[in-house]
Amino acid sequence: MSAPFRTPAGGHVDRARPLRFTFDGKTYQGLEGDTLASALLANGVHLMGRSFKYHRPRGVVAAGSDEPNALVAVYRDAARYTPNLRATEVELYDGLMAESQNRWPSLAFDLGAVNGLLAPFLSAGFYYKTFMWPRKAWDRLYEPLIRRAAGLGKSPTAPDPDLYLQRYAHCEVLVVGAGPAGLAAALAAAETGVRVMLVDEQRALGGSLLSATDATVDGQLAKDWLAETVAALAAKPNVVLLPRTVAFGYFPHNMIGLVERLSDHLAAPSAGRPRERLWQVRARAVVLTAGAIERPLVFPDNDRPGVMLAGAARTYLNRYGVTPGRRVAIATGHDGAYRAALDLHRAGVEIAAIADVRPESGGPLVRAARAAGLPVRSGCLITGTKGVQRVTAARLSTIDGHGAFASDMVACDAVLMSGGFTPSVHLFSQSRGKLVWDDAISAYLPGEAAERTYIAGAGRGQFGLAEALDSGWAAGAAAAGQPIARRFAVEALEADAKGVVGALPHDRGRRRKAFVDWQNDVVTSDLKLAVREGFRSIEHIKRYTTTGMATDQGKTSNINALGVVSDLLDTPIPKIGLTTFRMPYTPISFGSMAGLARGDLFDPVRTTPTHDWAVAQGAVFEDVALWKRARYFPKAGEDMETAVRREGLAVRNACGVFDASTLGKIEVVGPDAAEFLNRMYVNPWSKLAVGRCRYGLLCREDGFVMDDGVVGRLAPDRFHVTTSTGGAPRVLAMMEDYIQTEWSDLQVWLTSTTEQWAVIALQGPNARTILSGLVQGVDLSPQALPHMGVVEGRICGVPMRLFRVSFTGELGFEINVPADFGRSVWEAVWAAGQAQGLTAYGTEAMHVLRAEKGFIVVGQDSDGTATPDDLGLGWAIGKTKPDFVGKRSLARPSMAAPTRKQLVGLLTADPSVVLEEGAQIVLTPNPAPPMRLIGHVTSSYFSATLGRSIAMAMVSGGRARMGETLYSPVPNPKGFDAAIPVQVTSPVFYDVEGARVNG
Amino acid sequence: MLLIPCPYCGPRPEIEFVHGGEAHIARPPVPADVGLEDWTAFLYLRTNEKGVHAERWRHTHGCARFFNALRDTATDQILATYKAGEARPGAAAVQA
């Protein structure tokens, strides 16, 4: 085996299965079972990345999801390029390609490292200060510079071709984290027969047991107990084991979000195999056994490649058979590092020194290290490292009674550090459980839970193996509702829980960088600066210095940052507070969140019965709410403008046919139907005769227009209500609200019939002629069916509700037939109309036609602050009605203010100029800023009928300005000097007397 | 995602529901008799409780009915749900 730092035996790697991979183009060999980080370490590669701000060379620090430094991109092709993956979590496969990030031109030689020289300008809050002046430099210099420097990694350049799935699941007990506590919890819960899910972010279940050496459980070696336990759990039909699955979020009512990685670990995933699966699991109880995260020490130059966490080094050794170096120095404030020292010593690695910051330490692990002859230095701290791209020596110091430092350099090729362990309380905190500071172990621990949550093991400060197993079992049993205790017989050397928090003292001056947050390049002096500038709350300090705000969410840094601030403010940590933990625990992909909701499946698509016909005619569609509506029907060579002019003229001069099926339709039925409509709509309904229609206007309780539509009375107790296309669900919900919660005494029932009726609008002078040959049992004469009449009958032999209504100003009918007959009736109308110049028109021509008549579209001409009167629709209000929704609000004084915006028409001086919808209206052509804006354009089109542009606008006091000239400023690169003069007119531009509807 | 016990359908996931704002704000029977300040309060003023809050929900994608819930806005725990028109459950009922 060629890898120089691979041990001859041991670990959970398969030595018979070597794998080749590349990192930054160079080929290396690893083993099946490696992570990218362990394989690189086996080859002696510690340098895996450059830091975010200073571009300092960085090595791997951790062995799991807490890794702050070794962020890499892994790729298969242009579309499968995933940046910002932790090399410690990337499972090696044959042919894996990875590259480092945040460096140019190469990892070893990065020009960005010049930032290190600029460090004095890049201190905490630098972006608030350095780039402030001169103001002019912002657009051209600072912003492009910052944007280029911002962010980590690169995005893939092609759309993600992979499949991401999502599923829901339910269980009684969900266990997060499959270390000893989690395994015991799952065992206990599973024995009661309830449904159990056990998830772990790693490829293998076991957590710390995967790195265990000589500990025993119930008389078995830990690794054997692990294998047996996993097999036992896997054999239970009520247990689901989910390795490679991160529990990223703890949502209310015990909903846990999981992302399961399904194929990123495979050399050649089979086609169609999903890449990830998002699980949304509702658990009756959740057991959190997420373990603890080792704390780095904060000392000068603690970020040199080769400096890593002691526990990580032990994991690399025991799980992957990899040593971090040949001669290591260990700096610690916690017993745990001795475990690494002992294991490495046994593997033949020279232990140069164990610098223990504690003056006295006498636990069993320390005694074992002394007994093994390891060079333990009590009361000794690390105050620096030497080396450029790899550590070459550690500076170890003692402090005498007068505060004087005595130091020596200890040659080494790796430094292992440990400040102790921080319980992983992320998910518990996300669940809104309360955290309590525990002085004995210097950590926040779970306190009162907000959900049915149980916590066990290191996640609640029970670090010992026996404690973890016992508390895990107890939690699992309690979560399953059968609290039966069990004791595990464990033999292991246990560490004292207490460690050190905050920065170590040193004599290296203020300029030496002691990193607190590796990923965001936050050093102790940044925290000092923040405190010196008056920041006190940790939430503010966090935002000002960005400590803990990187993609690792401060897994390794938060508690040390608190410790540093605590020392600076001379305030105990619990008084400083704690920043909020948020989901996701580790970054998750957009693909997993999107799932199948991409492309055609992004949103539901609603199509009308004539959709396929319109497609065959070459219609161009637009999205209106979820509907696909035909926007125009271009003939060969026509652009939209030409087609819309042709369609509009055809309606005015012959006849047009339009699919209005998307209109919302509600059947309002019951003895109190008319009374209900009286209360809902501004209009009066009691006197509306059967067979007649009325334009209905609906306000919210605040008096502003919410929707409109024609309502036809089919029987004394039955109304056919129409709404706008987008407003249908809102209107139905509002009506239901009043029926159910305010007027439950009314005998009235609502049914949505939007999708039951196909609506074919036939509009134009020839409409009656076309229709006459198609209907049965219906008298189409103006006397029998006048404008705003409705009749039931048959067309082409199928049932029909025929409305004589017009949204174009022309003689018009809206033929309602059951949706299943929509296509055939449409085609019959189409065939009958060919001799009459019948033309299909789309929503664009519809808009022009209705604007020529000054008909509003709610939501386009109104915006939620318009009253009926503002829109010129005050006539619709039933003046004698005692009450309707919105009536009281319309009586508020402000609703009658003369300065309210009112609907008017605008005509440009140049008839060919079409105003922009949304454009502002001002009083003078070139007012000096700030301009007084008195209105805005709501609808604007070129009217082929009138041969000129027309526009509708909401203008302050508009109806009193008839004939006035106003201006619409048009911004251009030089200013606003191209204002368009417009004349205020009535919004009705065509057939003002309304004669044409009578055809 | 909340798990909301609809009084008609039992516990269902939040995506089936639409929130309806604060509960027990009855529309005055004769709005015309309501003074301007009281009407403004009816329209716009809400308690914005931190703690137990009575609020309306509609099981839009289920039974389509409106009902009320007592939810602790600080913890999101739902203490009780009850039908529209019923009185707000007292503290004793919520404890039970």
* CA A651 from centre of chain: 47
Beta bridge partners of A984: A906
Residues of chain B with Cβ-Cβ distance to A740 below 8 Å are 65-66, 84
Phi, psi of A75 (to 5 degrees): -145, 150
Amino acid type, A558 = N
CATH code assigned to A897-996: 2.40.30.110
How far is residue A839's CA from residue B66's CA, in Å, rounded to a whole number? 46
Residue A253: left (phi > 0), alpha (psi -120 to 50), or beta? left
Task: Check residue A113 and give its pLDDT.
Answer: 78
Pairing state between β B3-6 and B10-13: antiparallel
Phi, psi of A54 (to 5 degrees): -95, -5
**Three-state DSSP state, A229:** helix
Task: Check residue A115 and give its pLDDT.
Answer: 73
Half-sphere exposure of residue A713, counting CA atoms within 13 Å on the CB side? Answer: 22
CATH 3.50.50.60 maps onto chain A at: 164-292+423-491, 296-417
Of A683-697, A900-914, A969-983, B39-53, the least confident? A969-983
User: Which residues lie below 8 Å from residue A657, measured CB to CB, with a gap of 6+?
Assistant: A760, A761, A762, A763, A826, A829, A830, A833, A838, A839, A840, A841
How far is residue A786's CA from residue A328's CA, in Å, rounded to a whole number? 98
Rounded to an integer, the average pLDDT of A388-410 is 95
Q: Taking 70 as the threshold, does the pLDDT of residue A976 lie above it?
A: no
How far is residue A454's CA from residue A335's CA, in Å, rounded to a whole number? 28
Confidence of residue A361 (pLDDT cuts 50, 70, 90): confident
How far is residue A384's CA from residue A404's CA, in Å, rounded to a whole number? 16
Task: Check residue A148 and give its pLDDT.
Answer: 65
Q: Taking 90 as the threshold, does the pLDDT of residue A491 lie above it?
A: yes
**Model pLDDT for residues A109-123, shown as the tens digit of each residue:** 887 777 777 776 677
Amino acid type, A500 = V
User: Which residues lie below 8 Å from residue B14, measured CB to CB, with a gap of 6+?
Assistant: B1, B2, B3, B4
CATH 1.10.10.1100 maps onto chain A at: 501-588
Mark A585-612 as b/e (b = at least 16 C-beta within 10 Å). bbebbebbebbeeeeeeeeeebbbbbbe
Mark A707-720 as b/e (b = at least 16 C-beta within 10 Å). bbbbbbbbeebebb
Please identify among residues 540-559 of chain A the ones whose CB lies closer than 8 Å to any CB of chain B: none
Fold type of domain A164-292+423-491 = FAD/NAD(P)-binding domain (3.50.50)
CATH code assigned to A618-632+649-662+756-855: 3.30.1360.120
How far is residue A216's CA from residue A219's CA, in Å, rounded to a whole number? 6
Task: Check residue A49 and give its pLDDT.
Answer: 92
Confidence of residue A890 (pLDDT cuts 50, 70, 90): very high
For residue A715, CA distances in Å to A20, A36, A436, A691, A792 come to 80, 76, 69, 8, 11
For residue A919, CA distances in Å to A109, A266, A865, A914, A940 come to 53, 55, 18, 11, 10
Q: Taking 90 as the threshold, does the pLDDT of residue A108 lie above it?
A: no
Task: Check residue A119 and give its pLDDT.
Answer: 72
Task: Check residue A111 and give its pLDDT.
Answer: 78
With 0-12 / 13-18 / 19 or more C-beta atoms within 10 angstroms meaning exposed / middle / buried, residue A849 is: buried
**Model pLDDT for residues B23-66, shown as the tens digit of each residue:** 999 999 999 999 999 999 999 999 999 999 999 999 999 999 99
Are A287 and A180 contacting, i.e. CB atoms less than 8 angstroms apart?
no
Pairing state between β A327-332 and A414-418: parallel
Task: Check residue A900 and give its pLDDT.
Answer: 97
Question: Residue B3's closest chain A neighbor by CA?
Answer: A253
Q: Which of B39, B57, B61, B71 to substitute to test the interface with A, most A CBs within 10 Å?
A: B39
Pairing state between β A655-659 and A838-840: parallel
Min distance A172 CA to chain B CA atoms (Å): 15
Residues of chain A with Cβ-Cβ distance to B85 below 8 Å are 741, 744
A434 touches chain B (CB under 8 A): no
Task: Copy the structure tokens of residue A216.
Answer: 């025993």
Confidence of residue A150 (pLDDT cuts 50, 70, 90): low
From the list A244, A179, A186, the residue with the least C-alpha distance to A217 is A179
For CA atoms A737, A743, A744, A748, give the dihedral sign. Answer: negative
Rounded to an integer, the average pLDDT of A613-634 is 97
CB contact under 8 A, A888 and B39: yes
Task: Provide the Cα torsion A178, A179, A184, A190; round to 10°.
Answer: 10
How far is residue A414's CA from residue A391's CA, in Å, rounded to a whole number? 6
- Chain position carrying tokens 């008017």: A904
Min distance B49 CA to chain A CA atoms (Å): 18
Residue A729: left (phi > 0), alpha (psi -120 to 50), or beta? alpha
For residue A217, CA distances in Å to A224, A289, A456, A468, A487 come to 9, 18, 17, 12, 10
The arrangement of strands across the sheet holding A327-332 comes to A307-309, A414-418, A327-332, A350-356, A376-378
Give the number of A-B residue pairs with CB atoms closer than 8 Å: 64
Task: Check residue A255 and give its pLDDT.
Answer: 97
How far is residue A294's CA from residue A424's CA, in Å, rounded to a whole number? 10
Q: Which of B1, B3, B63 to substitute to test the interface with A, most A CBs within 10 Å?
A: B1
Task: Copy the structure tokens of residue A151.
Answer: 């962010």
CB contact under 8 A, B66 and A740: yes
Task: Provide the Cα torsion A591, A592, A594, A600; round to 10°.
Answer: 70
**Model pLDDT for residues A185-229, shown as the tens digit of each residue:** 999 999 999 999 999 999 999 999 999 998 999 999 999 999 999
Domain limits at B53?
Answer: 3-27+37-95
Task: Check residue A154 and give its pLDDT.
Answer: 87
The superfamily in CATH containing domain A663-753 is: Aminomethyltransferase beta-barrel domains (3.30.70.1400)
**Model pLDDT for residues A417-428, shown as the tens digit of each residue:** 999 999 999 999
> Contacts from A944-947 at CB under 8 Å and sequence distance 24+?
A944/A644, A944/A645, A944/A646, A944/A648, A944/A649, A944/A848, A945/A648, A945/A649, A945/A652, A945/A852, A945/A990, A946/A852, A946/A989, A946/A990, A947/A911
Residues of chain A with Cβ-Cβ distance to B58 below 8 Å are 733, 736-737
CB contact under 8 A, B85 and A733: no
Pairing state between β A421-423 and A327-332: unpaired
Rounded to an integer, the average pLDDT of A387-404 is 95
CB contact under 8 A, B66 and A450: no
Cα angle: A792, vertex A796, A797; to 5 degrees: 70
10 Å Cβ neighbour count for A725? Answer: 22
Task: Check residue A147 and give its pLDDT.
Answer: 66
**Model pLDDT for residues B76-91, shown as the tens digit of each residue:** 999 999 999 999 998 7
Q: Taking 90 as the threshold, does the pLDDT of residue A152 lie above it?
A: no
Confidence of residue A694 (pLDDT cuts 50, 70, 90): very high
Q: Which of A741, A750, A751 to substitute to test the interface with B, most B CBs within 10 Å?
A: A741
The superfamily in CATH containing domain A501-588 is: BFD-like [2Fe-2S]-binding domain (1.10.10.1100)
How far is residue B16's CA from residue B67's CA, in Å, rounded to a whole number? 13
Task: Check residue A999 and give its pLDDT.
Answer: 79
How far is residue A498's CA from residue A441's CA, in Å, rounded to a whole number? 4
Residue B32 domain-assigned (yes or no): no
Task: Check residue B35 and give its pLDDT.
Answer: 97
CB contact under 8 A, B31 and A744: no
Which of A282, A736, A741 has the CB atom closest to B64's CB atom? Answer: A736
CATH architecture of A14-126: Roll (3.10)
The total number of structural domains in chain B stands at 1
CB contact under 8 A, A741 and B85: yes
pLDDT averaged over every residue in chain A: 94
Helix, strand, coil in percent for chain A, rounding step 5: 25, 30, 45
The residue count for chain B = 96
Residue B50 domain-assigned (yes or no): yes
Q: Taking 90 as the threshold, does the pLDDT of residue A151 lie above it?
A: no
Q: Taking 90 as the threshold, does the pLDDT of residue A770 lie above it?
A: yes
Please give the residue that has the higher pLDDT: either A103 or A33: A33
Rounded to an integer, the average pLDDT of A328-334 is 97
Q: Taking 90 as the threshold, does the pLDDT of residue A939 lie above it?
A: yes
A881 touches chain B (CB under 8 A): no
Task: Check residue A316 and give its pLDDT.
Answer: 98
Fold type of domain A296-417 = FAD/NAD(P)-binding domain (3.50.50)
How far is residue A342's CA from residue A355's CA, in Å, rounded to a whole number? 14
Q: Taking 60 as the threshold, does the pLDDT of residue A1 lie above it?
A: no
Beta bridge partners of A49: A58
**Model pLDDT for residues A867-886, shown as the tens digit of each residue:** 999 999 999 999 999 999 99
